[in-house]
Every structure is written in C-alpha cells, then in structure tokens.
Structure 1
Amino acid sequence: MEKLLGKVDKTELSEIATVMRSLWLRRNEFCYEGLFKSPSQMLRTAKEELHEFEMAQQKLIANSQGNNIERRNQVWQRPKENYIKVNWDAALDLKGRKAGLGVIIRDEDGEPLVAVEGQQTNVVNPAIVEIYALWKAMEIYRDLKMERVIFEGDAQLIVKAVNSQEEDRSVYGSIVEVAKSLLGLWKGWSVEFVYRNEMR
C-alpha cells in the first residue's frame, strides 16, 4: 500500500479503493449467495458508486464553506396551479443490504394526498434504490392517469439520467429507460432535482 501511495494520485487511489471494495463484495456474493457478476458489470458498479461518493463529498464541502446557507434555509415550494408534486427518496443500509423507499404526494396547496413507503432487500447500490423509488412513484400516476405531475428528488445522478436523451447503459439502465418511456407519455410530467431540505 505504501508503494502504491507513492505512485498514484488521490483520484487514482480512490478508483483503486472502490474497485477493490467491489471485488470483495463480488467475492462475498458468489460465496454466500451464488451470484456472479461479470468483471465489466463490477467495474461499472464501482465507477457509479465512486461518482455518488464524490458528489456527496462535494455537497458536504459546499455546506462547510458556507456557500449553501441560502439553499439550506429554503423550504418546499408549491407547484404551479393544477399540478401535483411528488417527492421521492430512498435510504440504503449497506451493511444490512436493504433499503427503505418513501414517496409523498402533495397538491398545489402543499396538502399531503398520498404517502407510500416500501422496502427492498439485497441491494448495495444507492442509485438503484433511488431510480426504483422514482419508477414506483411514476407507476402510481400512470395508473391514476394524472397529466400534470412534478417529480422531485435529491438524487442528481438519477434526475440527469432520466432527463438525458442518451441510452443509459448502467447497471440500473433498464429501469431508467422504463422511467424515460413513462415520462415521454405525459407532456405535463417533469423530473427535477432538489436538495433534501427542500423536499420537506
């Protein structure tokens, strides 16, 4: 490890550590659950998790430097008239390999209409849980045939993926593509990024 520290920079070291962790998890999944991930799938997952970690670190740095004071004081904003706002979120217990999902739906006056919660097991990637929560929220409104809906979440990676025109080839890409197809069916639907404190 000491030799490695002298040869690579901080960015490369982070990539190496993330890949090593993914190798360890891959080994455990194979030994204890009989699951086998291909090397390419493992590398994709490692890159995605590193990206999520780096974004979280950047957010913490911005907060500590005081650049986010005004944003921290912001609160939930009501949608346009005749629109519904859906806030979704997810939390991952990496050690327990389980996640909690939450969706709250409010009208233009901020009154809660529906609250939905759920759980998922055998998950280790926070992005998978976030896109699954968004997809579930979209399914509710597809079934209700609601035409004016704003979906808000604090997972910037997922918001960008769903709004992107390019095909998503990540490990959770299939769910992203389903979410995109649902979004394309309704002209009054949008998926937007907000910071966590603005979802309350």
Structure 2
Amino acid sequence: MESPPPQWIKCNTDAAWHKDQQRCGVGWISRDEYGRMLWAGVRSFQRLGSPIETEAEGIKWAIHSMSRLGYKQVIYETDSQVFAKMINGHEEVWSKLKPLIQEIQHDISGILTTRLCYIQKKNHVPKLYSIVPDWLKLAFETDMSDVSSNNVG
C-alpha cells in the first residue's frame, strides 16, 4: 500500500456480496501518512442487488464517516475498477446506480481535496494471529475499556 501525501488520509474500502445471502457487508480503514490506523468500520446491509451496489454503499458510508470525523483531505481507494471509472466520469453510469453515484459525487464535490481511485486488489494470504498485531491493538484496548466500564456498577 502506498502512503498518502503528508497531511492526507487514505481510506481503503471493500465489500462482500453473495447472490444467495440476505446480508452483505462493507468495511473501510483509514490510515495517516505513516500507515497508522486512524479509524475503521464494518457494517452489514440487508440484501443489495449486486457487488458493485454493495461497493458503492461502502464507499458512501466511508465518505460520510470520514466527513463527520472532520477529515478534509482524503484519498478513497476501491478495488472496483468499474465503479471508480463511473464515479470519475470515465464510464457511463448504470441507470440503477445513478442516484447512488450522484449522491456520492455530491458528497465529494463539497470537499475539494477528496479523491476516489481504483487500486488493484492483491491476493493476500490469510493470516491468523496468536497476539493482537500492533495495528489493531489500540482498537482492541478501546473496545475492552468500553466493555469493562459497562460491566462496572
């Protein structure tokens, strides 16, 4: 993964869709110029019509989340080349996706320093950890402190 320029954030998104499932899922992770995780999110949706619609919903949610968190210089990366071409005006937008793409384009047009681009997905070997990796440790510690404080009293 290439780091974003100084003062920028990179937000990678991905989606999971299966034609026989009633639910699909999306996720995103944002990192600073040093590769440190800032925020991440996962979410499920009720049945969406296609993988590309699921990708679009994931990107829309990531854009809304990063905007609410106050980030103004964000590079969004998706592994959906067709979607990236549609959102950037390099390919005709499918009629079913027009409202969703128009909403995303409107959202990113209000933030002049936001970009959305395609990044080729690499084949990753699954990894199992016996300890919490450094990049995820803070998230686990935060979750554990939330659980502990909710169980007190």
Normalising to structure 1: TM-score of the pair? 0.58
Q: Higher helix fraction: Structure 1 or Structure 2?
A: 1
Aligned length: 124
Q: Secondary structure at the match of 1:96?
A: coil
Deviation beyond 3 Å, 4+ runs, structure 1? 165-169
Return the offset for 1:120: 1.1
**Structure with the greater alpha carbon radius of gyration:** 1
In the alignment, structure 2 segments of 5+ residues that lack a partner are 125-153
1:101-180 superposed matches below 5 A: 101-164=26-89, 168-180=93-105
| Separation in 1, partners of 2:34, 2:119 | 19
Question: How far did residue 169 of structure 1 move?
Answer: 4.9
Change beyond 3 A, Cα 1:90–1:190 = same
CA distance in 2, matches of 1:124, 1:181: 22
User: 1:94 aligns to what?
Assistant: 19
CA–CA separation in structure 2 for the residues paired with 1:83 and 1:128:
27
Sort the Cα spacing of 1:198 and 1:105 in 2 relative to 1 into closer, same or farther, 3 A: farther
TM superposition shift of 1:164: 1.0
Identity of aligned residues (%): 24
CA change 1:168–1:124 in 2 (3 A) is closer
Q: TM-score, normalised by structure 2?
A: 0.74
Q: Which residue of 2 aligns with 1:82?
A: 7
Partner Cα distance (1:198, 1:187) in 2: 33
In structure 1, runs of 5+ residues without a counterpart are 1-75
Task: Give the SS at the match of 2:34.
Answer: coil
